[in-house]
Amino acid sequence: MMLPQSINHSKVIGGLVFGVGTSAALYYNRKKIVQLLYKWRINSLIKLSNMKVHIVTSNEEWECIYSLIAEEAYTIGALGFDCEWVQVQGSRRPVALLQLATASGVCVLVRLSCMNSIPDSLKMLLNDNRVLKLGVACIEDSQYLLMDYGLNVRGCVDLRHLYFRSFNQETPGENEIKQTANNIGLNGLSQKLLGKSLNKDWRIRAGDWEAHELSPKQIKYAAEDALVGIHILIKLLADKVYMDNSAAFMISSSWNAYVQKIIHQYCSDYSDLKFCSSKDPETNSKTIFYKPGTTNKTKMLDETSVTRKTLLYHNCQLLAPDNVPLCTVDPKKARWYVEKDLGTLVSEEPLVVKLNFEPAGRPQTEKGDGQFYLQERHNKCVVCGKDDSYIRKNIVPVEYRKYFPDILKAHQSHDVVLLCLKCHRKSSMQDNFLRNCLAEEFDAPIGTKSDLTHIVDQNLKRIRNAGGTLLKSGSKLPSEKVAELEQLLKDYYQCDTVTSDLIQKASNLEIKIPNENYEPHGLKVYKAYEKIGITKFERRWREYFLSSMNPNFMPEHWSINHNEYKMELKINRLPIDHPDRIIYKIALVGTEGNLDDVNNH
């Protein structure tokens, strides 16, 4: 009878050992288990997704769908985001379609080209940075929406930032990353992270997004582009973000709040930050590539590289011979007067210089126009008041101002203000909207053939293509095709024989020629205002800056009518046949205006 007891004891002991071992294994692997559960729960957002497309062509249709998309957007704090438009002969038309998608698959296609106005709730959603907008090149899309419809889109996150941050684990060579950065797009990210290929047929992408009705292929193409954007973020969260131990077991409401939290933490460094991998073709300037592991530092270096490291306003004082204040200047200018024996040093701290000659004018006689230059200027952002970093902002953009007469440019700092980096970016985007309006008003297109110094000669392009084809694939082509291509070269070079040197020469043929119709956008707009008065143009930009940026710290005596009173004084003092009168006339009333309309003061 002892044998069964021993067997029972063995079973009990074995069970205890197994239980303890299992518990120990679970304990020591608890982080892995919890992380697997977390990944499963995050990935289920993608697996349970069911794409449902809603097409919006009116304010009423938007309001019907708004609550559905807004509820989920604010729950997890993110949306997939994309835009489509039509290209006509290389010119971009206004954005025709705005795509928004939730993680669960609700895809809203807003046909902006069909709508008479933009619903306030849509404006609010786009402007709310609590809801991040995920996509590829979404910063550029947001700029187009601002230019075309005055829509402020905040909280845009380019998915390429997030993808390349994931290289922290793999750490490939920098050249490899840069090469990948130049080539990868939404489809590439989708293939790498979701294992899904998107339909990128150029015939759909370049189709008519302003058509009366979108085709089924267009609808699917547009909806998938937005939906994949939010799903790529979720996949990155599942693979790259490690969570709190308790989060995987949270109830639904707490889980949603937690997902929103980690989304915003994961994306915070990249919100509204343009992705740049090489040379920006639009600005023609070097831009920064964000290397893995240095995101925050690189972003900081980006800001400090463009913001001022020294004070702009030193408020050194310049006095007339009778000690009456004339203006404030920078130290270099003040000392120049002393070095040239044109002035005398009155004091070093503060730096004050008295002129040895009578100045051409005195600010006291020029009312507010002169008083503006007497005051002390403050080194801070005129919009928000930030005073630790700032950039010069030309309220009237240089692309127009460079054509102004010298009397409107020389010794004029009224329209140069300081903005912090954030406000400067916003103001630059706002400027694009007015530029677009001016382009339409005065038939002065931006970025089209008439706005290019050089254009491609299609005949030369055919010759170069023929040379390139013969060079690379001549031995593989049918004899008839070779003869056809060689004949093109013979006709162009006026020869009877096509040699290897001639083929090489043709393949390197320069195909761009000077554009005879070239007229820069800025010059064309300037010429239009030259007829009616340049001061009207200045006034328009000043008013626009005030209305679009709502600055709280503008200098005292800053005015939308600055310099007009001063010029009126000067033109009324000039002899009727003085050559400068025509310049003042252009500035005040334009070539087609009448100087009699200028008030005499």
Q: Residue 48: which CATH number?
A: 3.30.420.10
More confident residue, 219 or 50: 219
**pLDDT at 85 (0 to 100):** 92
SS (H, E, C) 126-162: HHCCCCEEEECCHHHHHHHHHHHHCCCCCCEEEHHHH
Classify residue 100: in a domain, yes or no: yes
Q: Which of 261, 277, 292 is the last residue of a domain?
A: 292
What is the structure's pLDDT at 158? 93
Report for 5-14, 161-170, 266-275, 409-418: range of highest mean pLDDT: 266-275
Residue 318 CA: distances (Å) to CA of 324, 337, 340, 355, 557: 9, 10, 15, 7, 19
Residue 178 pLDDT class (50, 70, 90 cuts): very low
Please give the pLDDT value at position 3: 42
Residue 242 belongs to some domain of the structure: yes
- Tell me the pLDDT tens digit for each residue of 269-301: 888 888 875 444 333 333 333 333 333 333 333
Q: Are residues 202 and 106 in the same domain?
A: yes
Position with higher pLDDT, 312 vs 164:
164
Among all chains, which residue has been given the structure tokens 């007829």?
531
Going by C-beta distance under 8 Å and a sequence separation of 6 or more, which residues neighbour residue 140? Answer: 274
Q: What is the pLDDT of residue 414?
A: 79
Is the model's pLDDT at 366 over the cut of 60?
A: no
Per-residue pLDDT averaged across 328-335, rounded? 83
Taking a C-beta distance cutoff of 8 angstroms, is the pair 331, 314 a contact? yes
Most confident of 246-250, 352-356, 385-389, 562-566: 352-356
In a domain, 198, yes or no: yes
Average the pLDDT over 513-528 and give the result: 85
DSSP β-bridge partners for residue 392 = 418
Token duo for residue 89 = 């002969």
Assess if residue 37 is contained within a domain: no
Q: What is the pTM of this model?
A: 0.49
Residue where a domain stops, chosen among 259, 275, 292? 292
Which helix (H) or strand (E) covers residue 544, if one does?
Answer: helix 534-549
pLDDT at 179: 44
Q: What is the rounded CA–CA span in Å between residue 479 and residue 500?
A: 16
* 3-class SS shares of the chain: helix, strand, coil, % to 5: 55, 10, 35
Q: What is the mean pLDDT of residues 168-177?
A: 46
- pLDDT reported for residue 242: 54
How far is 428 from 397, CA to CA, in rounded Å?
10
Residues 279 and 141 in one domain: yes
* Average pLDDT, integer, range 40-49: 69
Residues 52 and 80 in one domain: yes
Residue 264 lies in a domain: yes
361 part of a folded domain: no
Do 584 and 461 lie in one domain? The reply is no
pLDDT of residue 122 exceeding 90, the answer is: yes
Instruction: Tell me, yes or no, whether 525 and 509 share the same domain.
Output: no
Does 13 fall in a domain?
A: no
Domain count, the chain: 3
Mean pLDDT across the stretch 117-122? 91
Q: Are residues 176 and 199 in the same domain?
A: yes
Choosing from 276, 292, 308, the residue where a domain stops is 292
Q: Does the structure show a pLDDT above 90 at 60?
A: yes
Could you tell me the CA-to-CA distances from 435 to 94, 400, 425, 443, 446 in Å, in that order? Answer: 14, 10, 16, 12, 9
User: 508 and 565: one domain?
Assistant: no
Whether residue 259 lies inside any domain: the answer is yes
Q: At residue 170, what are phi and psi to the nearest 5 degrees?
A: -85, -35
Whether residue 135 sits in one domain with residue 266 = yes
Residue 183 has pLDDT above 80, yes or no: no
pLDDT at 7 over 70: no
Residues 183 and 269 in one domain: yes
Identify whether residues 510 and 553 lie together within a single domain.
Answer: no
- For 136, other C-beta atoms within 10 Å of its C-beta total 25
pLDDT for the residue 83: 96
Q: Which domain range does residue 117 map to? A: 44-292
**What share of the chain in percent tops pLDDT 70?**
75
